[in-house]
Amino acid sequence: MKKISLVVPCYNEQEVIKLFYKEIQKIKKDFKNVSFEIIFVNDGSKDKTLEIIRELSKNDDVRYLSFSRNFGKEAAMYAGLEASTGDYVAVMDADLQDPPALLHEMYEILESGEYDSVATRRVTRKGEPVIRSFFARMYYKIINKISKTEIVDGARDYRLMSRKMVDAVLSVQEYNRFSKGIFSWVGFRTKWLEYENAKRAAGESKWSFGKLFLYSLDSIVAFSTVPLSIASVMGILFCFVAFLMIIFVIVRTLMYGDPTSGWPSMVCIMFFIGGVQLLCIGIIGQYLSKTYLEVKKRPIYIVAEKKKDKKNG
Ligand code: UDP
Ligand code: MG
C-alpha cells in the first residue's frame, strides 16, 4: 500500500481549510490501495486557522504543525516536507487554487516509474491584474537569462514528488529558500502538467505586489551571481569612456587652446558616476546581507505545537 502526503501551508485560511479537507475526501475514492496523510502547517495565522486545524486533526488522516509566528510559505513548505512520511509528497495551497483533481493523474504518472516528480504550471493568468502579469513575465525572462537553474514561467509550487526527490529537496538546507529554484536545482525527471488558472475558493491572497517584488529580488540573489558582475563590467566600460574623453580633451586643448569649461556637465557626470557606484555597492550589499543570514544558521522555522504521526509517536 502506497502513502501520499499532502503538505498544506496555511496562513489566515479559516474560510477555506474545511472546504479543502472536504475536496480531498472527495478525490480519495479515485485511488485504490493508497492511504493519505494531510499535513497542515499553520504559519502563525492570526485568525481561527489553528482551531479549525486542531478540530480536523481528530481525523486519522490529518496531522499538523503550528509555527510560533509567521515564517513565510517557504518555511512552511520545508517544515511540511520534513514532517511528511509518504512515498509520494505533494505541496498544495489551502485555497484550492491547486486543483486536487489533478492528484490522481500525477500519481499515475509517478507510479509508471518514468518520472520522479510531476509539477504544474498555469498557462493563463486570467483574473490577475495586467501590470502584475507583465512584471511576472519580465521577471521570468530576466531570471532565466542570468541563472543556470531553469525557473519555468507560470510554475506553481503544486507538485507531487517521489520520496527520493523530497529527501534531495530537504538536503538543501539554505535559509533563504526559493522552492521553485530548489525543485529545479535538485534535478530529477519532471513532467509538467498545464492547467488554467483557478480563482481562490475564499479568503484573500497573501501576496501584495510589493511582497512579490521583494520575493523576486530574493530569488535572483539566491539563484544567480550575475548582478555581482555588473560592477566589473561597468567599471571596465567607464574606464574606457574616460580614456576616450581624456584623449578628446587633450587634443582639443592642443588644437584650439581651449581649456575645458562648463561645470553643469561636470555635475551631471558626478551624479551619474555616484549613482552607478551606489547601485553597485547596493548589489554587493544584497549578497552580503543574504550571506550574513546564512552564516548565522538560524533555524528555518520554530514549531510551537504539533500532532505527530501515530507510528512515529
Ligand atoms: N501562505 C503561508 N504563509 C505566508 C503566506 C502564504 O503559509 O506567509 C500560504 C497560504 O496560506 C496559501 C499559500 O501559501 O495556502 C499560497 O498563498 P496565497 O494563496 O495567498 O498566494 P497566491 O495563490 O495568491 O499566490
Ligand atoms: Mg492562492
Query: pLDDT tens digits, residue range 60-99?
Result: 889 999 999 999 999 999 999 999 999 999 999 998 888 8
Number of Cβ within 10 Å of residue 265's Cβ equals: 10
Q: How many Cα neighbours within 13 Å face the side chain of 6? A: 29
Q: Is the pLDDT of residue 263 over 80?
A: no
How long is the chain? 313
Please check whether residue 4 is in contact with residue 33, taking contact to mean a CB–CB distance below 8 angstroms: no
Q: Is the pLDDT of residue 308 over 70?
A: no
Ligand 1 pocket, 205 CB below 6 A? Answer: yes
Query: pLDDT tens digits, residue range 91-126?
Result: 999 988 888 988 999 999 999 988 999 999 888 777
Please tell me the distance from the alpha carbon of residue 93 to that of residue 6, in angstroms, as a whole number: 10
Please tell me the distance from the alpha carbon of residue 20 to that of residue 215, in angstroms, as a whole number: 26
Give the pLDDT of residue 312.
47
Cell of 36: 493519505
What is the CA(73)–ligand 2 centre distance, in A?
11
What is the CA(229)–ligand 1 centre distance, in A?
34
Please tell me the distance from the alpha carbon of residue 50 to that of residue 64, in angstroms, as a whole number: 9
Give the pLDDT of residue 313.
42
Ligand 1 pocket, 43 CB below 6 A? Answer: yes
Q: Say which residue, 199 or 7, is predicted with more confidence.
A: 7
What CATH homologous superfamily does 2-207+299-307 map to?
Answer: Spore Coat Polysaccharide Biosynthesis Protein SpsA; Chain A (3.90.550.10)
Give the pLDDT of residue 260.
63
Instruction: Give the confidence band of 268 by pLDDT, cuts at 50, 70, 90.
Output: confident
Q: Say which residue, 307 or 279, is predicted with more confidence.
A: 279
Give the pLDDT of residue 153.
85
User: Helices 17-27 and 49-56 sit at what angle, rounded to 10 degrees?
Assistant: 30
Residue type, 129: P
Give the pLDDT of residue 259.
65
Pocket test for ligand 1, best of 95, 96, 158 (most atoms within 8 A of CB): 95
Q: Is the pLDDT of residue 214 over 50?
A: yes
Write 150-155 long-range contacts (CB < 8 A, 24+). 150/184, 151/180, 151/181, 151/184, 151/219, 151/223, 152/119, 152/121, 152/180, 152/184, 152/192, 153/121, 154/121, 154/122, 154/123, 154/125, 155/119, 155/120, 155/121, 155/180
Ligand 1 pocket, 154 CB below 6 A? Answer: no
pTM over 0.85: no
Pocket test for ligand 1, best of 93, 200, 209 (most atoms within 8 A of CB): 93
Please tell me the distance from the alpha carbon of residue 90 to that of residue 165, in angstroms, as a whole number: 11
Dihedrals phi, psi of 276, to nearest 5 degrees? -60, -40
- In the chain, what are the domain boundaries? 2-207+299-307, 226-296
Ligand 1 pocket, 79 CB below 6 A? Answer: no
Dihedrals phi, psi of 190, to nearest 5 degrees? -120, 130
Please check whether residue 159 is in contact with residue 89, taking contact to mean a CB–CB distance below 8 angstroms: no
Please check whether residue 177 is in contact with residue 78, taking contact to mean a CB–CB distance below 8 angstroms: yes
Give the pLDDT of residue 45.
93
Sheet holding 155-162, edge to edge: 190-195, 117-122, 155-162, 88-91, 2-10, 34-42, 62-67, 303-307
Query: pLDDT tens digits, residue range 139-194?
Result: 999 999 998 888 888 888 999 999 999 999 999 999 988 888 999 999 999 999 88
Ligand 1 pocket, 78 CB below 6 A? Answer: no
Which of the residue ranges 132-136, 165-169, 271-275 has the most confident prediction, judged by mean pLDDT? Answer: 165-169
Ligand 1 pocket, 15 CB below 6 A? Answer: no
Dihedrals phi, psi of 121, to nearest 5 degrees? -135, 145
Q: Is the pLDDT of residue 269 over 80?
A: yes
Query: pLDDT tens digits, residue range 6-63?
Result: 999 999 999 899 999 999 999 988 888 889 999 999 999 999 999 999 999 888 889 9
Nearest CA owner, ligand 1 atom 23: 205
Cell numbers 523530497: residue: 166
Give the pLDDT of residue 131.
84
What is the CA(207)–ligand 1 centre distance, in A?
7
Q: Is the pLDDT of residue 311 over 70?
A: no
